[in-house]
């Protein structure tokens, strides 16, 4: 067997394998003799067909079968001989320009890249330092109260924070426009659900009033045909209601599953949850920065076949998530939609794998147990959840992978330049309250 690498383009290899005539002829002859003992042909008794007749009748067919068998058996032998590690299955191309009785093929495939870890000392990572303050805890309680707001109808004028039931119709250049009309819809004044000026234009009105609002759509409005346009809205105020927040009492605590200890126990549980979320957010932010640093410094080309396989997996998962969420659609999510994420995941997988191998990083079982118990802590029967994970290897493997990645993050933090940055709970958990209310995202409900 002769093996040669004909060409290579980046990670692609074209490996030519020539099979010796002696090996082929010997295998063909052996197969033909076996066939002659069982083949049935008109004019001959079973097992009595002359080998010359069998050879003439079946030689080409047997030769192709032998070729297929030899491709399977010699492909991996050739890879080993050339020290090549393929990233996926090959495309086999038969070769015709070979001597008589000789067979050859070209296997086209991508190889796994060599990962050479680069120095991380130039990487800069910001570690956010924050705690949960009493004010943060108080703000969270107020948010929970607002979630259970009830609305009481009032005859007074509209104030900020009230809920109004309105009908409206929008016009541009005197013509009603698509999507600019609504009937009896609720709007909380100050919620930012409408374009700038809409809420403010209703303050001071009362039920039964009509208001004419002259407004302008933002330049970056999500509907291009409306962006930057002047508009007039005719609004009917149908109903005005004022908010009624629940009292902080035992009944309020029970509404959030706190059966014993009342408001004091609720405060403790909320603070514990906030601290857990803050810790997870800080860890997640560090992990994101560490992964970004690894990708930036280790500029790695990845096999297309692995990226395609990963993208297909992400596409399948997205379809399953949509189905579980009750979304049924005939629209096929394009594979290109997942290409960038897939490429990132494949590259990080290769880099992380090399870090673990080269530095002999062993899974920290103590941290695995801690993460499982943290996750189980949010359930009514934590020990049952813990037992479930430790009795289910697939579920536990997911936690183990997360912990192993965390250990790699710790390794990166030891190598990179880490800057401690003072922050607070709100900044970390809500990076930009203003950005979350971008004009481009606003709509007419």
What tens digit of pLDDT does each residue of 201-239 get?
999 999 999 999 999 999 999 898 999 999 999 999 999
123 token code pair: 């990487």
Asked whether the predicted pLDDT for residue 259 surpasses 60, the reply is yes
Residue 101, pLDDT score: 67
Which of 180, 178, 165, 167 lies closest to 444, judged by CA?
A: 180
At which of 61, 91, 110 does a domain end? 110
423 token code pair: 């922050």
Structural domain tally of the chain? 3
CATH number for 198: 3.10.50.40
190 with 95, same domain? Answer: no
CA distance 282 to 286: 6
287 with 421, same domain? Answer: yes
At which of 58, 93, 110 does a domain end? 110
- Minimum mean pLDDT range among 10-14, 29-33, 146-150, 316-320: 29-33
Q: DSSP labels for 143-154?
A: HHHHHT-EEEE-
85 with 231, same domain? Answer: no
Confidence of residue 444 (pLDDT cuts 50, 70, 90): low
pLDDT, averaged across the chain: 89
Give the pLDDT confidence of 260-282 residue by residue, as tens digits.
899 999 999 999 999 989 999 99
CA 267, 268, 274, 280: dihedral to nearest 10 degrees? Answer: -170
- Residue 71, domain extent: 2-110
Asked whether the predicted pLDDT for residue 412 surpasses 50, the reply is yes
Q: Which residue has the tokens 């692609």?
A: 12
Q: What is the distance, to the nearest Å, from the Cα of residue 396 to the centroid of all Cα atoms in its chain? A: 20
Asked whether the predicted pLDDT for residue 440 surpasses 50, the reply is no
204 with 332, same domain? Answer: no
238 with 328, same domain? Answer: no
List, in sequence order, every beta strand (DSSP E) within 53-174. Answer: 91-95, 103-110, 124-129, 150-153, 163-172
Residue 439, pLDDT score: 38
Asked whether the predicted pLDDT for residue 445 surpasses 70, the reply is no
State the pTM of this model: 0.73
In a domain, 307, yes or no: yes
In a domain, 122, yes or no: no
Residue 246, pLDDT score: 94
283 with 425, same domain? Answer: yes
Confidence of residue 72 (pLDDT cuts 50, 70, 90): confident
What are the beta bridge partners of residue 230?
216
Residue 443, pLDDT score: 53
CA distance 268 to 152: 31
CA distance 195 to 199: 8
In a domain, 205, yes or no: yes
Give the pLDDT confidence of 289-305 residue by residue, as tens digits.
999 999 999 999 999 99
239 with 278, same domain? Answer: no
426 with 290, same domain? Answer: yes
In a domain, 285, yes or no: yes
What average pLDDT does the segment 185-200 reach?
Answer: 93
Confidence of residue 441 (pLDDT cuts 50, 70, 90): very low
Residue 31, pLDDT score: 80
Strand order in the sheet with 91-95: 2-9, 12-19, 103-110, 91-95
What average pLDDT does the segment 363-368 reach?
Answer: 95
**Between these two residues, 321 and 240, which has the higher pLDDT value?**
240
285 with 216, same domain? Answer: no
CA distance 278 to 426: 10
Q: Which H or E element spans position 422?
A: strand 417-422
Confidence of residue 434 (pLDDT cuts 50, 70, 90): very low
279 token code pair: 């810790």
Orientation angle between helical segments 134-147 and 262-297, nearest 10 degrees? 110
Confidence of residue 329 (pLDDT cuts 50, 70, 90): low
In a domain, 361, yes or no: yes
197 with 294, same domain? Answer: no
CA distance 341 to 314: 9
CA distance 238 to 232: 19
In a domain, 401, yes or no: yes
Residue 293, pLDDT score: 96
In a domain, 309, yes or no: yes
Residue 432, pLDDT score: 61
CATH number for 364: 1.10.3120.10
Residue 165 sits at φ, ψ, to 5 deg, of: -100, 120
In a domain, 305, yes or no: yes
Residues 6+ apart with CB under 8 A from 308: 335, 342
402 with 359, same domain? Answer: yes
244 token code pair: 């009624």
Which of 442, 381, 390, 423 lies closest to 226, judged by CA?
A: 442
CA distance 399 to 375: 10
CATH number for 53: 3.30.70.1050
279 with 399, same domain? Answer: yes
Give the pLDDT confidence of 104-135 residue by residue, as tens digits.
899 999 999 999 999 999 999 999 999 999 99
Q: Is the dihedral of CA 80, 82, 84, 89 positive or negative?
A: negative
Residue 181 sits at φ, ψ, to 5 deg, of: -125, 135
């Amino acid at each position: 067997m002769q093996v040669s690498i004909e060409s290579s383009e980046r990670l692609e290899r074209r490996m030519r394998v020539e099979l010796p005539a002696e090996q082929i002829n010997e295998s063909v002859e052996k197969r033909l003799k076996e066939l002659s003992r069982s083949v049935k042909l008109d004019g001959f008794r079973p097992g009595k067909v002359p080998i010359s007749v069998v050879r003439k009748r079946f030689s080409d067919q047997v030769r192709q079968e032998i070729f297929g068998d030899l491709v399977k058996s010699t492909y991996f032998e050739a890879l080993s001989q050339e020290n090549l590690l393929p990233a996926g299955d090959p495309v086999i191309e038969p070769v015709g320009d070979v001597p008589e009785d000789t067979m050859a093929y070209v296997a086209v495939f991508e190889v796994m890249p060599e990962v050479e870890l680069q120095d991380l000392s130039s990487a800069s990572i910001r570690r956010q330092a924050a705690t949960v303050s009493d004010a943060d805890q108080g703000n969270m309680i107020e948010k929970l109260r607002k979630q259970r707001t009830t609305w009481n109808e009032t005859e007074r004028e509209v104030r900020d924070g009230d809920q109004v039931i309105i009908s409206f119709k929008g016009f541009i250049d005197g013509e009603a426009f698509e999507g600019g009309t609504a009937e009896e819809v609720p709007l909380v004044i100050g919620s930012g659900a409408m374009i700038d000026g809409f809420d403010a234009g209703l303050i001071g009105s009362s039920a039964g009033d009509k208001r004419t609002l002259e407004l302008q759509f933002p330049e970056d409005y999500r509907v291009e045909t409306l962006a930057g346009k002047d508009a007039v809205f005719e609004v009917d105020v149908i109903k005005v209601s004022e908010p009624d927040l629940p009292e902080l009492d035992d009944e309020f605590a029970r509404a959030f599953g706190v059966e014993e200890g009342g408001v004091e126990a609720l405060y403790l549980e909320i603070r514990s949850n906030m601290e857990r979320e803050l810790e997870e957010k800080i860890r997640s932010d560090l992990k994101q920065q560490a992964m970004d640093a690894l990708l930036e410094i280790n500029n790695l080309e990845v096999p297309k076949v692995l990226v395609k396989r990963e993208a297909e997996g992400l596409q399948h998962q997205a379809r399953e998530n949509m189905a579980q969420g009750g979304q049924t659609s005939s629209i096929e999510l394009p594979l290109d939609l997942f290409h960038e994420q897939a490429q990132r995941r494949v590259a990080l997988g290769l880099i992380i794998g090399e870090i673990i191998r080269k530095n002999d990083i062993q899974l920290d079982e103590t941290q695995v147990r801690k993460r499982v118990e943290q996750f189980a802590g949010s359930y009514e029967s934590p020990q049952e959840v813990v037992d479930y994970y430790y009795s289910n290897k697939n579920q536990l493997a997911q936690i183990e992978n997360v912990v192993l990645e965390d250990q790699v993050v710790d390794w990166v933090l030891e190598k990179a330049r880490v800057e401690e940055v003072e922050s607070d709970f709100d900044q970390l958990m809500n990076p930009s309250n203003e950005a979350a209310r971008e004009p481009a995202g606003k709509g007419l409900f």
